Amino acid sequence: MYRRVLLLVCTTLTGSLAVGHGALGATAAPAALGGALNRVWFDGEPDTYVYDGQILFSQPAVQGAGPGFVRLSISEDGHWFDIWFAAATGQNLVPGVYENARRFAEITSPQLDVFGDGRGCNGVTGRFIVDDITWAPDQTLLTFAARFEHHCEGGDGALFGAVSYKSTAESRTRRFSPQALNFGSLNVNAVSGPQTETITNDGPSPLAISSLSIDGADAGQFTVGASACPAVLASGESCAVTLQFAPTGAPGSRAARLVVHDDLAPDGGSGRRIALSGSVPSPSPPTTTTLPGSPTSSIPDDPIPEDPPVEPSNLGSLGEFTPLTPTRILDTRDGTGGFNGAVGTGQILAVQITGTGGVPTLGVTSVVMNVTATEPTANGYLTVWPTGTPQPTISNLNTEPGVTRPNLVTVATGVGGRVNLFNSAGSSHVIFDVVGYYADVNGTPGSRFHPVDPFRLFDTRDGTGKVARMPLTTRGVVAVNVSKRSELPSSAITAIVMNVTVTEPTAAGYLVVYPGDVGVPTASNLNFVRGQTVPNLVTVRVPSSGVIDFFNSFGDTHVLADVVGYYDTEFFAEEGRFVAVYPTRLLDTRLTPPALGPDALGILTVAGRGGVPVEGAEAAVLNVTVTAPTSTGYLSLFSDDLCDIPDASNLNFQSGQTVPNLAIVALSFDFDCASRAGAIDIYNSAGSTHVVVDVFGYFTDYFVAP
């Protein structure tokens, strides 16, 4: 790109005020003539050709003026500049806004040019605002004040400025600190700590900040948080805005810009931009640990036969799933389900499951339901297990005073089609929302489960999945068509299993995930408070349209969903039947340390333990809990035969939290990148955390019957 290079001999005048190229230092009071100001201020964005940085001059001189133009010159402290303002040919220069300004060679437009210090532009685009212009009877310029935005050679970088020649019009300057924000390198799904951008009014007149926004290629990965701007700043006042970086996608650099519109960069122009940057590191092999209870050698696994024998089955509908529209079958706040009042310390309720909420009276082995603890008074936990069996040493939900917390539960039904509910400490109201059930041999024919490598279905933060790149608003709905995804079959799907996460909510509320062929049900999948990131596993019926709706009750919140599997009616031998097991703890690093460290991968053998067979299990249903984490982070769970950590998460947590979530995870075959058969990997992104894993059942593979 060619630019003019100017060579002039300049005389340095005494009494000038200027600071070094690229920075605005302490400024002296500008010269005043009976209340009028003489000053010229430049603010060049980084890499702007004519001037890069901020500088203030106090002695502009009139180089030429007439009814249609004003030319000012500056020669101070080793700098020289000329600034031209002109109306279109044949028009007078009067107060007002002049859009689409060009360099003076283009006579059909308003004209703007800034050159000096040996630099100038062959082509100029921009705009300017004349705030004041007056003339003596002999057409001598008496006063002039203007603001401008100048782009050299059609480039993106802008030089902003404000001039005042003997004018009493408002005169403004301002300072950004810092000039750029770098958030460093973060793993996908991590969220940076906040960084602050401060805007200070250095001028004598008030400065109005009208808007803040983010643009650029990776705008969706940077967010504006708490802000005292927009505001009107008096002279010497500042306002601050906090920003965060939450990267998604492949490794590499990220770039965006904070865009500020104010009196010196008014609406309608490009705005003053502050560079935002960050990066996602290339994956490095995480620290790998064999978790306690896992054999160090591989579990023998028969190779998958090319044509597995399909024997006549007498298993009928055993383990086949029927999805339901979410229905509330227990709410101790209002007596739904026959229990009215909070569940007390050590109290056990036997809750009827069969014959309620669409679950048949007969032919049922297990139920899938969203269990929510609300208004708890103490730190504790809830346990759900089949009535008529001993209480297991496991937990489904961990409670915290005043915090509403949901978790998906898959549990076998016991005596009389009931399940037991136990509360360990304090009192808590409890809600059951049933979403489906598994049949016995003679039960209702249903569908079977297929695990998939976890993938992101959609993310409102960056528009993944062709959704709007914006949060869900109050009572807002995002509709996602799962039948359009290449990772899933286009037909025969009856239900989908996703890990759904809300993040950056602006208010307390709840999220409902439901089939697109019904209205919003009286149920909830996730409950959250302002600023909280909350995950939960969701199983939802898929209607014939393929559309799943996500409803937000209140405030604004971003939502993302990672698919882990689906149900369909295309059966292959015995694959995909659910078999419930007696709830059993497979791992507790508090009892068998160490905790899982940062960027660490733990390998946990599941097959052959807790009722899961050595052979014949394709996936396991696990309740996973993190406790005592030392920093903000996430866990990802996936089959040990995957070669790469997936771009998906199962649990998100902050320092000190205890967070549970149900997970359905495929078990490894002894090939590809597997260290053994029948195992899963647990990846921890940051800090160290204890991990607890309880097993509730498994899904059969296609060549071994349960």
The per-residue DSSP string of 214-229 comes to EESTTGGGEEEEEE--
Residue 516's pLDDT is: 94
Residue 155's pLDDT is: 76
Residues 514 and 584 in one domain: no
Q: Please report, for the domain that includes residue 230, its CATH number.
A: 2.60.40.10
**Tens digits of residue pLDDT in 281-304:** 876 666 677 776 655 433 333 333
Q: Which of 81, 277, 139, 234 is nearest to 72 (CA)?
A: 81
| Segments in the chain below pLDDT 70 | 1-34, 104-107, 283-287, 292-313, 703-706
Residues 452 and 442 in one domain: no
Strand partners, 83: 72, 114
Q: In the listed set 142, 171, 200, which residue is the last one of a domain according to the structure?
A: 171
Residue 23's pLDDT is: 29
Residues 159 and 227 in one domain: no
Residue 637's pLDDT is: 93
Number of folded domains that form the chain = 5
CA 370 from chain center: how many Å?
Answer: 24
State both tokens at 681: 């990997």
Residue 702's pLDDT is: 73
Q: Quick check: 487 and 478 in contact, CB under 8 A?
A: no
Number of H-type helices and E-type strands within the chain: 0, 47
Residues 163 and 20 in one domain: yes
- Neighbouring C-beta atoms of residue 466, cutoff 10 Å: 9
Residues 452 and 496 in one domain: yes
**107-112 — which CB contacts under 8 Å span 24+ positions?**
110/86, 111/69, 111/84, 111/85, 111/86, 111/87, 112/84, 112/85, 112/86, 112/148, 112/150
Burial 11-39 (b: 16+ CB within 10 A, else e): eeeeeebbbeeeebeebeebeeeeebbbb
Residues 24 and 148 in one domain: yes
Q: Please report, for the domain that includes residue 650, its CATH number.
A: 2.60.120
Q: In the listed set 529, 551, 568, which residue is the last one of a domain according to the structure?
A: 568
Tell me if residue 132 falls in helix, strand or coil.
Answer: strand
Measured CA to CA in angstroms, residue 120 lies from 6, 67, 82, 320, 524 at distances of 7, 25, 10, 75, 63
Q: In the listed set 568, 595, 611, which residue is the last one of a domain according to the structure?
A: 568
Residues 18 and 164 in one domain: yes
Residue 221's pLDDT is: 93
Residues 469 and 551 in one domain: yes
Residues 420 and 438 in one domain: yes
What is the domain extent for residue 180?
Answer: 176-280
**Tens digits of residue pLDDT in 655-699:** 999 999 999 999 998 877 888 899 999 999 999 999 999 999 999
Q: What percent of the chain has pLDDT over 90?
A: 68
Residues 186 and 211 in one domain: yes
Residues 524 and 600 in one domain: no
Q: In what order do the strands lie in the sheet with 477-481?
A: 477-481, 547-552, 509-515, 526-528
Q: DSSP code of 704? A: S
Q: Which of 265, 276, 129 is nearest to 210 (CA)?
A: 265
Positive or negative, the Cα torsion across 378, 379, 385, 391? negative
Residues 17 and 159 in one domain: yes
- Burial of 367 from C-beta contacts in 10 A (0-12 / 13-18 / 19+): buried
What is the distance between the alpha carbons of residues 614 and 609, in angstroms, rounded to a whole number?
8
Q: Which of 249, 235, 176, 234 is nearest to 464 (CA)?
A: 249
Give the global pTM.
0.60
What is the distance between the alpha carbons of residues 459 and 249, in angstroms, rounded to a whole number?
11
